[in-house]
Structure 1
Amino acid sequence: MKVGSDRQTTLAGSVSLQGIGVHSGNPAEVTLHPADAGTGFVFVNRDPESGREVELPAHWRAVSATALCTVLGDPKAGGVSTVEHLMAALRGLGVDNALIEMDGPEMPIMDGSSEAFVAAIDSVGLRKLAAPRRYIRIKKTVRVDQGSAWCELRPFDGCRFDVTIDFDAAVIGRQSMVLDLEAENFRNELCRARTFGSVQDVEKLWSMGFALGSSLENSVAISEGQVLNPEGTRWSDEFVRHKMLDAVGDLALAGLPFLGLYRSYKGGHRMNHAILVELFEKAGKDAFEIVERSSDRTAPPVHADEPRLAVAQGAS
């Protein structure tokens, strides 16, 4: 998203990606389609029990789990898991509207980053729409604390992420990164950062029936203080870059792009979601406003859920 763009965008064509689900290990496919202005991002899936089509807006209210990844709805009834890497690619490249057609409950993990989604979007390009782009502008600081971890949204004239992680594992340690979210920055600095975890943690997940598709092809594996992937890391700080990529994807579930600064320390999916709940449900209406950035003017008053409601009522 280039701050200052005054019109909404969508994809210029449809594009599909195939891979496996990181938790099930089963084949997974997603197809991205253009959508009308005001649609936002909508997942289209089928309830495996009834066979009926399910439309699920990519919205913070639809988040049902954040422990291992970000999950929307119930994956057993048409919901979707591991949406964050695709959501990051859409928001990072400045896409405002898309229909996301799934063939099952999991997004394909690809290589554990957003790179394949970026390439797919770039292959069809973007189309500008007539409607003005709207933003959520942060007007006062909103913060969430969870033990030693915290995150906050602060007023800022732009869209900036400031992320710090702090792991006991020496190969990761403490890493920080600050990035203004623009399409080229996302392509060059974030989209190739892969998910990561310790071999011991993955083995525990395997025993519980999770992460069955996890491998060195789609994650950075750490064991006994070393990275096991033969190629090593893509950056020395790939770990914080991936945490920032996740934050971009999770905050895309606000429904509109932000004008503000997001800061986090020891954050993750749970806290990324918690800050949206704090902003929209607890902080009060004076914490944000919806604006049309081209003239920096306040847009006509709307409910914070407007993109979600428009989709739910208008899609078929």
Structure 2
Amino acid sequence: MGIVLQDDYQTSLRSRVSRSGIGVHSGAPVTAHFLPADADTGIVFHLSGQGGETREVRALVSEIGATDLCTLLGDPAGVYVATVEHLMATVFGLGIDNLIIEVDGNEVPILDGSAAPFVDAFEQAGIEALAVKRRYIRVVKPVRIESGASWAEFKPYAGTRFEVEIDFESPAIGRQQFASDINPDIFRRDIGRARTFGFMKDVERLWAAGYALGSSLENSLVIGDDHKVINMGGLRYSNEFARHKTLDAMGDLALAGARFIGCFRSYRGGHRLNSAAVRRLLSDRTAFEIVETTQQGRGRTAEMSAVSAPVHAPWVL
């Protein structure tokens, strides 16, 4: 079967780059350093623990420690890094396979609330191809998970596609969707700039629970009590809310440990449902196969073949 791909080979950054800001939930200053990594390294966080030691946490679904309002990797009671989804969406969207991320706090900086600052950082550093073939998780049969009125599913598809639909009671959002195949250009233009959002009526409750301490109009779309967006600049896209939910889903699905070939669809999804869908897919070895390119034809159409996966591979749960 012919598959449309962006590239055959694994990638990493060409040089080191850093970004500083605050954590949207902690409100604390934090800096993240992004370093080149060898092929087959994957995405690895280096986190500072008590006593100054560094702990390594891999960006895999098996490392998810919490999904309340953000995706957290590691031990919530120990060493962890929270709010990884916008960064991981950028990794997914730009096709970066190998990266070491040093974070000097417990949360990835929120920056402007979208993935755009991470895109700028990685393009500043440069992205280079490595001399090792990229492997993909190809969906070969439908896998679905439901939670109340919400659902998410993977379906076979000749490419990588997201179809995300949301439905909020607030008339500022309502029911909207975003659907598209994914490549770096589409990610930069149509998804990466969509910002996180919240409701003014929830602020005091979130503060009391220790969340959103760093949230502001500089890094979040805020919907007021009159059901209108109160940010001076308004929306970046007419359906920015659905696009941001797509960005979040991309970040959560990046924790599968490899890019996937297939279509991901969801209705009223969130971090918990996204991660549950990844687990459901990877727990059924009849639902996917690991493939790499064997032949590149015209129009960027590649022929794929299944390859053997080691027992310690990230997609083996």
TM-score of the aligned structures, taking structure 2 as reference length: 0.93
- In structure 1, what is the Cα distance between the partners aligned to 2:229 and 2:195? 13
Task: Show CA shifts across 1:181-217 (max 9, x none).
Answer: 1000000000010000101112210122211000101
Q: Alignment partner of 2:120: what SS? A: helix
Equivalenced residue count is 305
CA contact (8 A) 2:48 2:55 kept: yes
1:90 corresponding residue in structure 2: 91
After TM superposition, list the pairs within 5 Å mapping 1:72-151 onto structure 2. 72-151=73-152
1:59 corresponding residue in structure 2: 60
Deviation of 1:24 (Å): 1.1
CA contact (8 A) 2:23 2:109 kept: yes
1:301 corresponding residue in structure 2: 308
- In structure 1, what is the Cα distance between the partners aligned to 2:24 and 2:244? 16
| One-letter amino acid of the structure 1 residue matched with residue 291 of structure 2 | V
Q: In structure 2, do the counterparts of structure 1 residues 4 and 192 end up closer, same or farther at CA, with 3 Å as the change threshold?
A: closer
Point out where structure 1 has 5 or more consecutive residues left out of the alignment: 310-316
| One-letter amino acid of the structure 2 residue matched with residue 31 of structure 1 | H
- In structure 2, what is the Cα distance between the partners aligned to 1:202 and 1:260? 37
Q: Alignment partner of 2:52: what SS? A: coil
Asked if residue 39 in structure 1 is aligned to residue 46 in structure 2, the reply is: no
- In structure 2, what is the Cα distance between the partners aligned to 1:285 and 1:26? 42
Asked if residue 285 in structure 1 is aligned to residue 285 in structure 2, the reply is: yes
Selected match of 1:270 from 246, 269, 272:
272
Deviation of 1:302 (Å): 1.0
2:300 corresponding residue in structure 1: none
Deviation of 1:78 (Å): 2.5
CA contact (8 A) 1:151 1:262 kept: yes
Point out where structure 2 has 5 or more consecutive residues left out of the alignment: 296-302
Task: Show CA shifts across 1:65-112 (max 9, x none).
Answer: 111100001255331000000000111011111001110111000011
Q: Alignment partner of 1:156: what SS? A: coil
Q: In structure 2, do the counterparts of structure 1 residues 301 and 308 end up closer, same or farther at CA, with 3 Å as the change threshold?
A: closer
CA contact (8 A) 2:40 2:98 kept: yes
After TM superposition, list the pairs within 5 Å mapping 1:15-26 onto structure 2. 15-26=17-28
Q: In structure 2, do the counterparts of structure 1 residues 76 and 17 end up closer, same or farther at CA, with 3 Å as the change threshold?
A: farther
Deviation of 1:252 (Å): 0.2
CA contact (8 A) 2:112 2:218 kept: yes
CA contact (8 A) 2:45 2:100 kept: yes
Deviation of 1:8 (Å): 0.6
Task: Show CA shifts across 1:221-269 (max 9, x none).
Answer: 0012110101111111000000000011110000000100000000011
CA contact (8 A) 1:89 1:118 kept: yes
| One-letter amino acid of the structure 2 residue matched with residue 300 of structure 1 | V
- In structure 2, what is the Cα distance between the partners aligned to 1:152 and 1:110? 31
Q: Alignment partner of 2:157: what SS? A: coil
| One-letter amino acid of the structure 2 residue matched with residue 33 of structure 1 | L
Selected match of 1:235 from 222, 234, 237:
237
CA RMSD of aligned residues (A): 1.5
Q: Alignment partner of 2:51: what SS? A: coil
Moved more, 202-211 or 154-163: 202-211
**How much identity, in percent, do the aligned residues show?**
50
